[in-house]
Structure 1
């Protein structure tokens, strides 16, 4: 007759003749129990195929090894790259990442926060929707759960790790002014604080270079469909007359739409003598090097942002956070390609 597989920690404790507290110590840290006991438990695990429900055990202890990750849209390659790095770091640290995307919808962001709260996550890394976020729901969640914000925050007083927009926009504006005509700035729809920070940084950089800034605001029914926003804005500018021969887009996805509309209009993009238009972006989208032409841009340091965000959050969870700086801004790197 086949032996029944243990279904609970109590049944497994009886099966291997090891006390329940010793088993808990083993599953928390195998090196914390005697070598002979560890071998006995490991042999019984292999024999029975028992899988402990560590999640339920942590819930009973009113703590979990789960970390929530919330980003506006996982289809956005910027967030996809960041989430990939966050997940790998957290797994190496012994945490289980739980990723939620509200797909640009405030009610889904609110629902996602409530879900993470009900699961009693140990902490969360949040890139909020921005101005559409439910500020009350975010405040309630952050008041009960250690959180670090990514890319943009809800105010100046929350822990944040993001790109240094002032540094990156200043660097690319300086380059464009130095290498050709001063750039006109095409902004994303005003979905969050980051869009305003970048446009303000552009205006300051243009003035520092002795040029009058010109910001063209992006708009559209879906503010997260940035390729279409850029395409539509470029078509409108072509119909009205281009305001300049150099266009700096707030991010690479906008630039892809701009390049597509310019190509359809027969314009040649690049920085050679026979080219009609220069286009630059920001973020170093994975496809930026493969667009036609390849896109000059600012490369955000995803690895450093992910590392700093995880380190800060884990320090907050463990009670060892002594960082007085609420905001950590990571510099970006200029990447020169054929478009500008």
Structure 2
């Protein structure tokens, strides 16, 4: 009768005629064992189609080669772009990315942190919810696990990599003031420190141009449903009378809702003669070039943010950067001029 294939590391080691530690070394790094041993194990793998239980092997380590990635909402294309780049970069370095989204819910963010700790991840890249985050739970996680914050930081607990909001908003305000009427700012609900940073950057840029700033806040029970927030905010503005003919939205998703409400009201969005108002955004959402009209916006450096954050985390894991080191890296963004402004 045909012998049953090995199902455990111990059984496969016996089938190969090598010790269990030697087999572990091979799966960790094939080049770490002798060529003859490597050839023997490789041949037996092909013969038996054995697959090691990587999850069980990870749990036997103090730290694994799994890297946790936590973002507020994976359905948000901004975070989806970051996650895609981070996963590919980490895989190229021999790590296994594990992405979890709390869907904007604080209790699910705490659960995500507990899950990553239970899996003994080697490190984590986290874009916190922001003001809704459980600061104590986040602090405990950061103290136990090498971590880099993305997009926004919480109280200087860990190093941060993200956009330079002062530079990017300043660039957009400068363009709008030079090309037409100074912008009115439509803010997102105050979900994280980045919200305040962008608003402060708008106020500073308007002051530098000698223009009068006007900030329109948005309040809602669904702060992550930004297209809806922008749509309803614009409907209210149209009903009350628009305060200006140039609108700068805190992000592109908000701008999509604003443009949709303007279109529904019969207003023409664009730059030049025959248009009723200009609309600009921030982030360079993947659909911003395909909106109607295409959206003038600020393109964050997704690639630079992803590479820098990954490099910082890997430096922590290798010991090149001492644990407890806290730094802030803010990358500049670029103006993208399209039809809406």
Q: Name the TM tier (shorter chain).
A: over 0.9
Q: Following the alignment from structure 1 to structure 2, what is the Cα–Cα distance between the partners of residues 152 and 273?
A: 39
Deviation of 1:55 (Å): 2.6
Deviation of 1:156 (Å): 3.3
The residue correspondences of 1:76-95 to structure 2 (distance < 5 A) are: 76-95=76-95
- Does the CA-based 8 Å contact 1:55-1:64 persist in structure 2? no
3-state DSSP of counterpart to 1:112: helix
1:269 aligns with 2:279: no
Measured against aligned partners, the alpha-carbon deviations of 1:145-197 in whole angstroms (never above 9, x if no partner) come to: 01000000102352011011011000000000000000000000000000000
**Aligned counterpart, 2:135:** 135
3-state DSSP of counterpart to 2:120: coil
3-state DSSP of counterpart to 1:279: strand
**Aligned counterpart, 2:184:** 184
3-state DSSP of counterpart to 2:99: strand
**Aligned counterpart, 2:228:** 228
**Aligned counterpart, 1:96:** 96
Measured at CA, do residues 156 and 63 of structure 1 come closer, stay the same or move farther in structure 2, by a change above 3 Å? closer
Deviation of 1:322 (Å): 5.9
Q: Following the alignment from structure 1 to structure 2, what is the Cα–Cα distance between the partners of residues 87 and 242?
A: 43
TM-score scaled by length of structure 1 = 0.98
**Aligned counterpart, 1:337:** 338
**Aligned counterpart, 2:75:** 75
Deviation of 1:325 (Å): 6.2
Q: Following the alignment from structure 1 to structure 2, what is the Cα–Cα distance between the partners of residues 258 and 75?
A: 20
The residue correspondences of 1:1-150 to structure 2 (distance < 5 A) are: 1-150=1-150
- Does the CA-based 8 Å contact 1:67-1:124 persist in structure 2? yes
Structure 2 residues without counterparts, runs of 5 or longer: none
Measured against aligned partners, the alpha-carbon deviations of 1:278-307 in whole angstroms (never above 9, x if no partner) come to: 000000001000000000000011111111
**Is the deviation greater in 29-38 or in 314-323?**
314-323
Q: Following the alignment from structure 1 to structure 2, what is the Cα–Cα distance between the partners of residues 186 and 115?
A: 37
TM-score scaled by length of structure 2 = 0.98
Structure 1 residues without counterparts, runs of 5 or longer: none
Q: Following the alignment from structure 1 to structure 2, what is the Cα–Cα distance between the partners of residues 208 and 156?
A: 29
Q: Following the alignment from structure 1 to structure 2, what is the Cα–Cα distance between the partners of residues 272 and 229?
A: 27
**Aligned counterpart, 1:250:** 250
The residue correspondences of 1:197-236 to structure 2 (distance < 5 A) are: 197-236=197-236
**Aligned counterpart, 2:281:** 281
- Does the CA-based 8 Å contact 1:157-1:326 persist in structure 2? no
Q: Following the alignment from structure 1 to structure 2, what is the Cα–Cα distance between the partners of residues 322 and 241?
A: 56
- Does the CA-based 8 Å contact 1:163-1:331 persist in structure 2? yes
Measured at CA, do residues 37 and 74 of structure 1 come closer, stay the same or move farther in structure 2, by a change above 3 Å? same
RMSD of equivalent CA atoms: 1.2
